[in-house]
Amino acid sequence: MDIMVKRSTLLKPLQAISGIVEKKQTIPILANVFLNAQEKSLSLTATDLEVELIGSVSPETVMAQGRTTVSGKKLFDICRVLPEEALLHLTIDGNYLIIRAGESCFSLATLPVKDFPRIEEASFISEFSIRAQALKDLLGRVYFAMGLQDIRHYLNGALLHINQKSITCVATDGHRLALSSLPNDKADTPQIKVILPRKSVLELMRLVNMSTDNDRELFLSIGDGRLRMVAPDFVFTTKLINTQYPDYNKLIPRGTEVATGGREVIRQALMRAAILSNDKLRGVRMRLGPNKLQVMANNMEQEQAEETVSLDYAGNEMEVGFNVTYLIDAFSSISSENVRCTFSDPDGGVLIESLDDIASMYVVMPMRL
């Protein structure tokens, strides 16, 4: 390998793959990035055995092709601190990658290319395109409701449900549920349900957020326990969680007590009340009365907070306890000015929806206080 590449050119894919490279690994080569210099391109690959990301750039000059693996973190840190206009000269000398930039010279230890693992090729049964902004919105509205290290491993991720009418993303940790959907105008799209692992969802969000071109088309392929997303500058592949996801429609409460009001007013009231909620339980009581909502919180020091919000409500009076963090997450994910909250009874959950946008809904289950 003997190539010349701009620091700014190399830094972008290194930033993209930094989340994939394993920080605490039991297999040393998983901390490395696979560099493959070809006639007119340089590809960088990182994997943790579940997720693989390949970034491609165009070097200034390729004097000699070659392949090697080096520490992803060290290579990223070197590029990050070099001058912005630096031109890097990469060569291989024995078991080391030599990086020269101006008066700077670095020697990085390499590991054999043959030991670098790759996710096996899969046959894909469904392929479709989606705008980057649409995928960003879809995942961004639900990711916070994914489980974290739950023994029910299917909750540690998000469901992607695709049919000829819509693309729906659902996440739940058993205490709350978030659902977002967008229209699908691809009439030939087969119906498919897959579960993306938590890390894959977060990495996909990070990748689409890194780009300033929100109108670009991303191409997704699904099949054989894999999902692949292809963009102009990277290829992202992830294994899927191979199990059945709960029927999320059964988790949506069908209450009759409906309250409507300003989203931001309610969210601010919840945030203020949360200050004096119990640090561990994070519980608040919501008391519904004629055209008003009271939010009450207290803690172990007997400190109390009470907020009153005006809204449109003519149903029965009731009081329900909730985790205030779950409520704030839901109200923060809705972009419209007004929301509809549907209750069933003090032992049932609340369904939170936008009045302007029916594409997203949130369910928060009650808690005993």
Which residue segment(s) compose the domain that 133 sits in?
Answer: 126-249
Residue 121 falls inside a structural domain: no
Show which of 222, 249, 276 is a domain's final residue: 249
- Crossing angle of helices 132-140/198-210, nearest 10°? 140
Residues 131 and 109 in one domain: no
CA distance 252 to 28: 45
Assess whether pLDDT exceeds 70 at residue 187.
no
- pLDDT band at residue 357 under the 50/70/90 scheme: low
- pTM assigned to the model: 0.89
DSSP string for residues in 139-178? HHTTGGGS-SS-SSGGGSEEEEEE-SSEEEEEEE-SSEEE
Q: Is the domain of 257 the same as that of 356?
A: yes
- Verify that 16 and 107 share a domain, yes or no: yes
Query: How many domains, in total, are found in the chain?
Result: 3
Residue 344 lies in a domain: yes
**Token digits for 224?**
């054989």
Q: Angle at Cα 62 formed by Cα 60 and Cα 67, nearest 5°?
A: 120
369 falls within a domain: no
Please tell me the predicted confidence (pLDDT) of residue 120: 80
Tell me what pLDDT residue 358 has. 65
On whether residue 62 sits in a domain, the answer given is yes
Alpha-carbon distance 222 to 122, whole Å? 9
Q: Any long-range contacts for 313-317 (C-beta under 8 Å, 24+ apart)?
A: 313/257, 313/258, 313/259, 313/260, 313/288, 313/289, 314/290, 315/256, 315/257, 315/258, 315/259, 315/288, 315/343, 316/257, 316/288, 317/287, 317/288, 317/289, 317/290
Does residue 67 have a pLDDT over 80?
Answer: yes
Q: Do both 244 and 258 map to the same domain?
A: no
Lowest pLDDT segment from 9-18, 120-129, 146-155, 180-189: 180-189
pLDDT tens per residue across span 295-344:
999 999 999 999 999 999 998 999 999 999 999 999 999 988 999 999 98
Q: Are residues 55 and 148 in the same domain?
A: no
Which pLDDT belongs to residue 22?
74
Q: What is the pLDDT of residue 85?
A: 92
Question: Does position 243 have pLDDT exceeding 70, yes or no?
Answer: yes
Q: Please indicate whether residue 165 or residue 38 has the higher confidence score (pLDDT).
A: 38
Its sign, for the CA torsion 140, 173, 316, 267, is negative
Q: Give strand pairing partners of 54.
A: 45, 235
Residue 91 pLDDT > 80, yes or no?
A: yes
The CATH number for 240's domain is 3.10.150.10
Q: Based on the domain organization, do 240 and 267 belong to the same domain?
A: no
Q: Which amino acid is at 258?
A: V
Residue 253: is its pLDDT beyond 80? yes
- On whether the CB atoms of residues 180 and 134 are closer than 8 A, the answer is no
Percent of the chain clearing pLDDT 90 (strictly above):
73
Cα separations (Å) of 32 from 59, 64, 89, 338?
Answer: 20, 22, 19, 49
Q: Does 305 lie in the same domain as 240?
A: no
Question: Final residue of a domain: which of 218, 249, 280?
Answer: 249
Q: What was the pLDDT predicted at 111? A: 96
Q: At a CB cut-off of 8 Å and minimum separation 6, what does 355 contact?
A: 260, 336, 337, 338, 339, 340
With respect to residue 68, please indicate whether it lies within any of the assigned structural domains. Answer: yes
Tell me which range, 18-27, 102-111, 147-156, is most confidently predicted by mean pLDDT: 102-111
Model confidence band, residue 202 (pLDDT cutoffs 50, 70, 90)? very high
Residues 68 and 80: their CA atoms lie apart, in Å, by 21
- Do the Cβ atoms of 55 and 44 come closer than 8 Å? yes
Residues 269, 287: Cα–Cα separation, whole Å: 13
> What is the arithmetic mean of pLDDT over 49-55?
94
82 and 150 belong to one structural domain: no
What local confidence, expressed as pLDDT, does residue 88 receive?
Answer: 97
Examine the domain organization and report whether 183 and 93 are in the same domain.
Answer: no
Same domain for 195 and 145: yes
- Tell whether 111 and 211 lie within a shared domain: no
Let me know whether 196 and 265 are in one domain. Answer: no
Asked if the structure places residue 215 within a domain, the reply is yes
Question: Does residue 263 form part of some domain?
Answer: yes
Residue 140 pLDDT exceeds 70: yes
Mean pLDDT, residues 219-230 taken together: 91
Domain boundary among 186, 221, 249: 249
Q: Is the pLDDT of residue 103 over 90?
A: yes
